[in-house]
Amino acid sequence: MSSSFLSECKQKVLNRIESLLVNKDQITSSMRYSALADSKCIRAGLVFASGKLEGQLDEVGLTDIATSIELMHSYSLIHDDLPAMDDDGMRRGQPSNHVKFNEATAILAGDALQALAFETIASSKGITDAHKVEAVRMLAVACGHQGMVLGQQYDLDAEKNESLDIELIHSLKTAKLIEVALTMPYLGNEMHKKTQVLLNNLGEKIGLAFQIMDDVLEVSSDSVTLGKSNLSDITNKKMTYVSVYGVEESIQKAEALSNFCIEQIQENFEIDKARELIELTHLMVSRSN
Ligand code: IPE
Ligand code: IPE
Ligand code: MG
Ligand code: MG
């Protein structure tokens, strides 16, 4: 698969974002700048790969869900880079949103991308109303004050407070969105309850593995390959998996999580339908950027 599967997923999402962001004004330009920039779209890949497992949704529904997740992710990155947060000047191989535009516009672009993420699900022609309500609710729970944003707050707090738990921070700031990327194709349908629980558990582990590798890559790669700073965590005195456990142990932990998840996927789903999810689970920890 993965390169062609993932690039197809990416293309579908980019086309959808193009169709959503058509105005020529400053705020739309700023949203387009970040949301259409070169990225891996790995969360979109997870949505499509999850959707294949039990095939409940058609292409339209899956594309809207994947787009919504990627819009939410782009918002989080714009805000994450702001001077008051990680203060990073480079993202996705180009100047960060606040550097290209200005801080106020970057804040607003993040706000508007988040709103658009919810709108994209609520307006979808490929999802039932019951599914939409549950998808919007779960996305809000995953990304709000009990999820990603709480994780971002702990991430900032941990710059000064060493007693915070790195696994908790990563599970909140990164894994929550990945959990919902995996479960969202099956929400609002009692028939898929068991699948939802299983995918949620897998998402927690895959998401943790993904953020551990992000921490590892920051110290083992370079900023051109990453498309972002490779000095940010050090400069900001961040608590990362690497700062707590070192590079070797971090890699071992990420690989163990990925392998465990692959075994679980193999045990619980038909192999023909799970191939893409297995390969993406492997890619989460074998990637170079
Ligand atoms: C970066 O995410 C932020 C983290 C949660 C580690 P990605 O590595 O998926 O970034 P893009 O979307 O490809 O730019
Ligand atoms: C960011 O984590 C996670 C979110 C944006 C929610 P990081 O701060 O480690 O991500 P990068 O390294 O800036 O991409
Ligand atoms: Mg950051
Ligand atoms: Mg990082």
Indicate if the pLDDT at residue 263 is higher than 80.
Answer: yes
CA distance 217 to 288: 7
Residue 65 binned pLDDT confidence (cut-offs 50, 70, 90)? very high
- Per-residue model confidence (pLDDT) at position 190: 82
DSSP assignment letter at 26: H
- Per-residue model confidence (pLDDT) at position 22: 98
Ligand 4 centroid–CA 194 distance in Å is 33
Q: Ligand 2: does its nearest atom lie under 6 Å from the Cβ of 152?
A: yes
Q: Ligand 2: does its nearest atom lie under 6 Å from the Cβ of 148?
A: yes
Angle at 150 between CA 183 and CA 193, to 5 degrees: 20
- Per-residue model confidence (pLDDT) at position 192: 87
How confident is the model over 77-127, as pLDDT tens digits? 999 999 999 999 999 999 999 999 999 999 999 999 999 999 999 999 999
Q: Are 225 and 289 in contact (CB under 8 A)?
A: yes
Q: Which residues pair with 91 in a beta bridge?
A: 94
What integer best gives the mean pLDDT of the chain?
A: 97
Candidate from 5-19, 144-158, 186-200, 202-216 with smallest mean pLDDT: 186-200
Ligand 3 centroid–CA 151 distance in Å is 12
pTM above 0.85, yes or no: yes
